[in-house]
Amino acid sequence: MHTVELERLKARKGARKRSEIPNDVLWALNQGKIETVNLVEWLAIDMPFLLRNSLTEIGWEEQIDNLYNQSLKLQDQGITKRLKGIGTIVFQALEDEENRTEIFETLASHTSDMVRAWAAFSIAADQTISLPQRLEIMGRFAADGSFSVRECAWDALRSYLVEDLAYSFELLTEWVKDEDPNIRRCAVEATRPRGVWCKHIPTLKKNPDPGLTILEFVRSDPSNYVQRSVGNWLNDASKSSPDWVINTCLRWRKESPTKETSWIIKHALRTLKKQNSLSQDIKIG
């Protein structure tokens, strides 16, 4: 496919359902020539086919059949388990690879956002690296231009952050002070008490207070992307610690009377509002 044609495809609008994805778009996605533009395309990718094509492209011939055959065994699993599964088998193949750094870099900077997601999950499969090292490596994925890769980034970090929340929050203070809103958002999203399609964090459901270590830095964040994540964090907490969330919002309203904080508070209290659990002193629109 010519460069001009690829550029045309990159400017496309995403299909609303799988059957509407044009054949040339699906071909380019499975070849790793273009990124996805929405979840419909993400779910439509033939992962084993993309894996074979991307490994062929980077010249990792000795692992093509091995990884392809292993990826076929994951086909009956859900999307997230398949992504993580391929990340794991890529990590295992890289362990004894002489050029592992170069191969990882090629995968981590690949045109295909799904290939980059596999690279992120290959780091999740490595249990030997320290948390500071893990955060340093994962930063590139947290800042990725693809929403899907950024979602994989926080998911790849979450289980390691939970192991020592106090230490994790201490390290993540640098992330919530980063100039990139994607980095700030990842720090918040990765530690949500309930989260989306992931295991809950019982400690934070019972006592969300440690989360303030990072949340205080972003309580008036200029980015709506970050604001939404902060609001979701608090909304998660409101389902098991409603008084804590209400008191936090009351304090923030007093200490930070900005439109950004006001938006976060409204988003944070939406579940309690539906339950008619809010008193007059914290009315929201």
What pLDDT shows up at residue 284? 56
What pLDDT shows up at residue 278? 76
What pLDDT shows up at residue 281? 59
CB-CB contact of 79 with 43 (8 Å):
yes
Distance CA 237, CA 234 (A): 5
Please identify every stretch of the chain with a pLDDT value under 70, giving residue numbers as ranges: 1-2, 4, 279-285
What pLDDT shows up at residue 1? 66
Tokens encoding 100: 């592992």
CB-CB contact of 254 with 209 (8 Å):
no
**pTM listed for this prediction:** 0.93
Nearest-5° angle of CA 17, CA 14, CA 117? 95
CB-CB contact of 201 with 193 (8 Å):
yes
Q: Please, what are the domains in the chain?
A: 158-284 (1.25.40.290)
Q: How many CB atoms lie within 10 A of CB 164?
A: 12
Query: Tens of pLDDT along 243-252?
Result: 999 999 999 9
Distance CA 62, CA 54 (A): 13
CB-CB contact of 253 with 285 (8 Å):
no
Query: Which of 199, 191, 153 is closest to 171 using CA atoms?
Result: 191
Tokens encoding 233: 């964090």
CB-CB contact of 234 with 192 (8 Å):
no
